[in-house]
Amino acid sequence: MFDPDRESTLADDVRRGLAARRKRIPPKHFYDETGSRLFDRICELPEYYLTRSEERLLGRSAEEILEAANPTDVVELGSGASRKTKMLLDAAEALGLAPRYHPLDVCEPMLRASAEALLARYPWLEVHALVADYERHLGALPEGPRRLVVFLAAPSVIFRRGARRHSSARSRRASGPANFSCSARIS
């Protein structure tokens, strides 16, 4: 189960969520290895139009975004399987750019699998993955001279009300995420 240095666990979040007037559990707890793979499969269903809509928008805009940003680093919040990331990396390659990629997600097995797949497709790519919670670890995002931070998911699905307001304050107090880097193979 997701931990990076605790501060909030599933038990803590369930206890707080069930004690609240409006009952809730943060969706980050659904994205263990099984949940992440299940969500990836849901994204392929004809009924789940969000991913296809986002892919169409990004497909039309990826090159323009990268040309304007000219990033040395691309940081992706909630990267999951990095499905849409490939559109950004294809655009980077077409423009002759080679930014480092920093995926951030709560599921380490999904991060490792997607990093390996990306490295196989883009031999020039450096991946510096962060096993982290973007509600608590935004302060640990890597610095870079020209950093492009992307969130290629439907925010209404992932963020609960109020989380956006408090996430940066929490991230300043939180300890850092677990991380790993690779540029050829993940050991």
Sheet with strand 147-150: strands edge to edge = 147-150, 73-77, 100-105, 127-131, 178-182
Residue 145 and residue 72 in contact, taking contact as beta carbons nearer than 8 Å: yes
Note the pLDDT of residue 99: 96
User: How far is 17 from 55, CA to CA, in rounded Å?
Assistant: 33
Task: Please list the residues that pair with 175 across neighbouring strands.
Answer: none
Note the pLDDT of residue 17: 85
Q: What letter does residue 127 receive in the DSSP assignment?
A: E
Q: 10-182, what's its fold?
A: Rossmann fold (3.40.50)
Note the pLDDT of residue 157: 47
Per-residue pLDDT of the chain (187 residues), as tens digits, is 444 455 567 778 788 888 989 988 777 666 676 776 777 787 788 888 787 888 899 899 999 999 999 999 999 988 888 888 999 999 999 999 999 999 988 888 989 999 999 999 999 999 998 888 766 777 777 787 899 988 887 554 444 444 444 444 443 333 344 544 444 333 3
Note the pLDDT of residue 176: 43
Q: What is the pTM of this model?
A: 0.72
Give the β-pairing of 127-131 and 178-182: antiparallel
Note the pLDDT of residue 36: 67
3 state DSSP class of 27? helix
**Which of 180, 151, 174, 154 lies closest to 3, judged by CA?**
174
